[in-house]
A and B are shown apart, each in its own frame.
Chain A
Amino acid sequence: NAGVTQTPKFQVLKTGQSMTLQCAQDMNHEYMSWYRQDPGMGLRLIHYSVGAGITDQGEVPNGYNVSRSTTEDFPLRLLSAAPSQTSVYFCASYRGDGYTFGSGTRLTVV
């Protein structure tokens, strides 16, 4: 049982490049979400999904897109990376008894 798997663990992008952060869970959780963590800011919600085909914005959605075609996968897309998107990104899935977080992706945009 892998839980929540995020790839890659580290990534360096140039300004304007695009990329997709992958997130997969094998727990059949309906709810999945993406957070970003910045120094002194805690974790802030970017986007979330309550099931396949359903997504919605969180607190800081600008510059990010998501889709949810299957229960297992919830990728986060950066269409045109900006230095302000340098952060650590966490994917999470949720069932009634609590959250499971992935190990994080450290993204640097130069």
Chain B
Amino acid sequence: AQKVTQAQTEISVVEKEDVTLDCVYETRDTTYYLFWYKQPPSGELVFLIRRNSFDEQNEISGRYSWNFQKSTSSFNFTITASQVVDSAVYFCALLGAGSYQLTFGKGTKLSVIP
């Protein structure tokens, strides 16, 4: 069975602070994909990143960065110099190779205070 744990239910930071959202996953698959989605107050799900289990390189996209560590089964997401527009619920998700079923964590609600 697959499982994704986002232990942080809610986080509040002051604008311009850095913040890291944690994601820990469980899977028996050797090949899998990890995702992060953003859900702003408007409700839609916005795709942020997909990471293949064979690619452990960290990735940076503007103020966003992701740290993938297979040794600890973690795929953490860091926002640098947070902005009010970053306020949203963030979901980590897992897809096993050969499967179509995306398993989501319960989400972390991030509030960035001006």
Contacts and interface: CB of A to CB of B under 8 A. Distances in A.
Contact of A99 (B43, B44, B102, B106): B102
Interface residues of B, number: 16
A48 B101 contact: yes
B44 to A, nearest CB: 5
Given A33-B101, A48-B101, A99 B47 contact: yes
Interface range on chain A: under 10, 10 to 19, 20 to 34, or 35 or more?
20 to 34
Contacts of A104: 43-45
Contact of B44 (A44, A50, A98, A101): A101
Name the prevailing secondary structure of the B interface residues: loop
A33 B101 CA distance: 8
Contacts of A110: none
Interface string B45-87: 1010010000000000000000000000000000000000000
Interface of B: 4, 9, 35, 43-45, 47, 50, 91, 100-102, 104-107
